[in-house]
Amino acid sequence: MTDTSTRPAFRTTDPATLAAGRTYSGHSADDAAAMAERAAAAQRDWRKASFEQRAVPMKKAASLLRARREELAALMTAEMGKTVTDGMAEVDKCATACEHFADRAASYLAREPVAIEGAKAFVTYNPLGVVLAVMPWNFPFWQVFRFAAPALMAGNGGILKHASNVPGCALAIESVLRDAGFPEGLFATALVPSAGVRALIEDRHIAAVTLTGSVDAGRSVAAAAGAVLKKCVLELGGADAYLVLEDADPQAAARVCAAARMVNAGQSCIAGKRFIVVRSARVAFEKAMVESMRGYEMGDPRDPRTRLGPLVSVAARDQIHEQVEASVRAGARRLIGGTVPDRAGAWYPPTVLADVRPGQPADDEEVFGPVAAIIEAADEREAIAIANASEFGLGSGVLTSDLARGERIAAEELDAGMSFVNDNVRSDPRMPFGGVKHSGFGRECAGFGIREFVNIKSVQVKG
């Protein structure tokens, strides 16, 4: 018989030094079930609150995030190695999302009249209940608020099952929302291991689930949610392709591509990973890309000047290095980087591989670190075909001096949930975020995201 009262411990490690950090006492399966029950009770009242009433604690949460930005950024640095500069920017982005949905939820979820003869008809949006959020470590605050701000403003409750290596961040998020004045228990952090997710999905107090994570995790959550017929939204991996066309300025293109690759030390599902270059532009782009990547020097993540901190763990670093080595053995050329530094910590330098092709991990797999893969294409048509051949379809980019051409390719040709021209892909509360194929389904952010966890109800009244 399974013991549901055992409480696990969550130990943190500083990725920059490998020094042991704080240990947190977790929650048992019984604790998590009780949280779900309390959240469901709180949500029954919260759903009755007006949008104006819900906006009060949401805007307070934005203020608290900004007031605590240095403290919260330091927590991210300590637990998963994010540079303090990126951490503060992440906190600010969360605050912006809180304000955006506080201001826009009423319009996003306003009743929509429908013209039907002889009756009053409209579509209305009602909250589903309590949403379980299974979240990753790489953007430990943004990933959560990207879900929580719209879900709470829609009248839902939330249970957060965060990544096991960022327990302090998980509890800090709960603290922000509690201190902001949300009803007691409406949003709670359950410090449980991944093995405890299925029981939460199956809990009768959980109405739906959202996950950001790996493809394997997405399959597992989708199967569990499907077995109990609960809605789920999945934002999974990516191997984002950027097309560098022959008319692009190589230096400008390389700056965009390097910025795309090096988001969060390359540990981002929407980081640019495959750079598909038309043959006539390849040599100039390779040179420019190497120079742009050189600008990301490894350094102390607590120094505001640092652009590249450590990776999340030595195990993650070693996996990336093996992907690089396997790609080189299969014919890729190492233009820069690709060696493990002789220093304590989970460090890996900016790396550029050329001559990348199918059969190499740099092409076939998601490389979750600072490794750029350059792939040659004969022309625009072949570049598009190579980009779309991936099992992933999250973000994509086009680098060109012909804006009409870039817009056409981005809007009509690339199989991805997002496509940017002459810029790197990023999330924004005002635009829907999500992917296709093995990058998941459903959308976050904007009106599309807030409507994922509501009952879209048709109402007809005959006089």
Catalytic residues: 235, 269
- Could you tell me the CA-to-CA distances from 412 to 274, 292, 404, 417, 439 in Å, in that order? 20, 30, 12, 11, 19
What is the spatial distance between Cα 426 and Cα 418, in angstroms, rounded to a whole number?
A: 9
What is the spatial distance between Cα 17 and Cα 78, in angstroms, rounded to a whole number?
A: 10
Tokens 């990516």 label which residue?
238
Quick one: CA dihedral 394, 398, 404, 405, positive or negative? negative
Q: What angle do CA 456, 460, 463 make, to 5 degrees?
A: 160
Q: How many CA atoms within 13 Å lie on the side-chain side of 88?
A: 10
Tell me the two tokens of residue 309: 């901190």
- Kind and range of the H or E element at 170? helix 167-179
DSSP per position, 421-445 = ESS-----TTS-B--EETTEES-BS
What is the spatial distance between Cα 34 and Cα 206, in angstroms, rounded to a whole number?
A: 11
- Could you tell me the CA-to-CA distances from 459 to 83, 107, 115, 455 in Å, in that order? 50, 18, 12, 12
For 295, phi then psi, to 5°, come to: -70, -10
Of 328, 326, 368, nearest in space to 346 by CA: 368
What is the spatial distance between Cα 158 and Cα 149, in angstroms, rounded to a whole number?
A: 10
For 43, phi then psi, to 5°, come to: -65, -30
In the 8-state DSSP scheme, what is residue 320? H
Tell me the two tokens of residue 131: 């949403």
Of 269, 247, 243, nearest in space to 256 by CA: 243
Neighbours of 340 (CB within 10 A): 14
Q: What angle do CA 372, 327, 356 make, to 5 degrees?
A: 55
Q: Decide if 69 contacts 172 (C-beta within 8 A).
A: no
Quick one: CA dihedral 43, 45, 51, 54, positive or negative? negative
Dmax (CA) of the chain:
79
Find all residues with CB under 8 Å of 429, minimum gap 6, and list them.
96, 97, 100, 101, 146, 149, 445, 446
